[in-house]
């Protein structure tokens, strides 16, 4: 059996998946946790990778490896490869004022026009300004900037602190697209935007093509044989899209801690409404993406309040009628990104003595969460990225209530693929491409949900609730796109 390995260095952990090259089936795996802090020494990611490799039984027997991982998060290095500062994660909120400053200086619409990104505090360019403003000495020492996947690939190639070799950094289009100093229209870095943020020029990773090899593994890495081909790697959502075999017209809805909707597109998106991020995918196309802050963790809250399990929450929800007899939850518990309501909180509306029941509350939690995701599908549609088939993945994808409510709110076919670690699988496919220049055709089982009767009152209730609270609906067909 010939084996390849995919690595996912996510926000929470590092996962290693060793797979059969012929079938894509996982043979063994390993995992190591990352710290919970949002500003960390980047060495924690390398340590976790080595621990996950060991937990997976080592990689001495694989013929290729590739890394995917969290987007945006930078490592700032000097010319010898030493980190000059701890790294702020993509979800560290300390860079919010620096995002505001960059938007004020260049103009919100100009960022969208140049990069396809409505600038957020997650983007790498914002972290550059954070470094410049909070640690100008470190900013002055910075000679190279790479994101996590780039840096781990570089480490696997045998480089590291004190080795130099910053000119050997590589990346792919998907990771470059999340920096907000790269243009999907030209395929080139916007170096002036990098300089605007950091105040100087630094070395940026060379951007490789989807089927390229980054190089080979170096010697002396515990659990990793030297000379193994390394795939180009990608950002996490791009890797998952590759593993799912996403084609144009299909849209993925991922229900995890947050909600993410993304689609494959042959064209870039410039959403001046401010929601759709025009990322690149791992195939050479584009991956327009929209996200909510609140998703499956809403179900944690609902289950905790009702004193039940997630399975029981689903069962209770299915006992209630569509619309929960008017009971409506807007699940903006931690503020919201889509719609843009950073200071809002969750709201329960239209409760009465008759409709405030356990089943109705359980269904209101499910409906409120799904309504937020459907709102994101509308944002894609308004940006000329239509959906003809919806692919439901994530930790909540197997919930019967989630599947039912989603089927009642969208008119397109919905499929639920077999459970898998799609990011590591996508990375493993890139490892395979480093061997023979092509992605493997691995089979994947998928179930199409039965069609149900449309229940437009669910979406109507949520639109009315947002209107009642003064939230402005900004997703519309009239949104300006190019």
Using CB atoms within 10 Å of the CB of residue 9, give its burial: 0 to 12 exposed, 13 to 18 middle, 19+ buried: buried
| Residue 308: its H or E element | none
Active site residue 236: yes
Quote the DSSP letter at residue 239.
H
**Residue 301 and residue 84: Cα distance in Å, rounded?**
40
SS3 235: strand
Helix ranges, 119-245 (H) = 124-134, 136-141, 148-156, 173-177, 191-198, 236-243
Is the bond leading into 329 cis (omega within 30 degrees of zero)?
Answer: no
- Using CA atoms, how far apart are residues 345 and 332, in angstroms rounded to an integer? 5
Sign of the Cα pseudo-torsion (276, 346, 37, 304, in order):
negative
Alpha-carbon distance of 267 to 280, in angstroms, equals: 10
If we measure between CA atoms, which residue out of 5, 66, 73, 64 comes closest to residue 34?
Answer: 73
Q: Residues 60, 225: contact at Cβ < 8 Å?
A: yes
Q: Which residues contact 478 (CB under 8 A, 6 or more apart)?
A: none
Torsion angle of the four alpha carbons 154, 155, 157, 159, in this order, in degrees rounded to the nearest 10: 90
Q: Where are the beta strands (DSSP E) in 217-336?
A: 229-231, 234-235, 250-255, 259-263, 277-280, 286-292, 328-330
Count Cβ neighbours within 10 Å for each residue of 13-33 and write b for 16 or more, e otherwise. ebbbbbbbbeebebbebbbbe
Dihedral angle over CA of 305, 347, 38, 69, nearest 10: 90
Q: Which of 8, 123, 236, 281 is catalytic?
A: 236
Measured from the Cβ of residue 95, the count of other Cβ atoms closer than 10 Å reads 27
- Active site positions, annotated: 236
């Amino acid at each position: 059996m010939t084996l390849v390995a995919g690595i996912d260095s996510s926000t929470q952990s590092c996962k290693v998946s060793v797979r059969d090259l012929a079938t894509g089936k996982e043979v063994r795996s390993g995992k190591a946790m990352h710290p919970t802090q949002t500003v960390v020494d980047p060495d924690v990611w390398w340590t976790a990778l080595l621990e996950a490799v060991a937990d997976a039984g080592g990689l001495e027997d694989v013929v290729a490896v590739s890394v995917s991982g969290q987007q945006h998060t930078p490592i700032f290095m000097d010319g010898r490869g030493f980190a000059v500062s701890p790294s702020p994660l993509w979800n560290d909120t300390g860079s919010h004022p620096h995002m505001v400053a960059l938007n004020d200086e260049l103009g919100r619409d100009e960022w969208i026009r140049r990069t396809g990104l409505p600038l957020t505090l997650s983007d790498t360019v914002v972290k550059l300004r954070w470094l410049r403003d909070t640690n100008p000495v470190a900013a002055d020492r910075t000679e190279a900037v790479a994101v996590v996947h780039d840096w781990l690939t570089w480490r696997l190639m045998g480089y590291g602190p004190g080795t130099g070799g910053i000119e050997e950094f590589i990346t792919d289009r998907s990771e470059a697209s999340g920096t907000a100093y790269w243009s999907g229209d030209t395929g080139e870095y916007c170096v002036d935007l990098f300089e605007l943020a950091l105040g100087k020029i630094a070395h940026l990773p060379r951007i490789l093509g989807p089927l390229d090899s980054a190089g080979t593994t170096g010697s002396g890495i515990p659990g990793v044989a030297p000379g193994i081909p390394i795939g180009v790697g990608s950002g996490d959502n791009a890797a998952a899209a590759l593993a799912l075999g996403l084609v144009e017209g299909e849209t993925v809805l991922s229900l995890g801690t947050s909600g993410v909707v993304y689609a494959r597109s042959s064209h870039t998106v410039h959403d001046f409404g401010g929601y759709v991020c025009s990322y690149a995918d791992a195939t050479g196309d584009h991956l327009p993406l929209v996200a909510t802050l609140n998703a499956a963790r809403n179900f944690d809250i609902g289950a905790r309040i009702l004193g039940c399990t997630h399975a029981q929450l689903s069962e209770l929800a299915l006992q209630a009628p569509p619309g929960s007899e008017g009971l409506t939850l807007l699940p903006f518990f931690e503020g919201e990104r889509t719609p843009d309501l950073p200071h809002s909180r969750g709201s329960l509306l239209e409760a009465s003595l008759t409709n405030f029941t356990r089943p109705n509350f359980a269904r209101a939690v499910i409906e409120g969460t799904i309504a937020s995701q459907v709102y994101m599908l509308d944002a894609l549609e308004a940006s000329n990225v239509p959906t003809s088939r919806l692919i439901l993945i994530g930790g909540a994808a197997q919930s019967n209530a989630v599947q039912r409510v989603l089927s009642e709110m969208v008119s397109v076919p919905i499929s639920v693929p077999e459970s898998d670690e799609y990011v590591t699988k996508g990375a493993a496919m890139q490892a395979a491409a480093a061997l023979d220049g092509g992605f493997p055709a691995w089979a994947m089982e998928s179930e199409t949900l039965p069609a149900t009767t449309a229940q437009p009152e669910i979406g109507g209730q949520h639109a009315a609730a947002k209107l009642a609270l003064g939230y402005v609906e900004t997703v519309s067909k009239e949104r300006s796109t190019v």
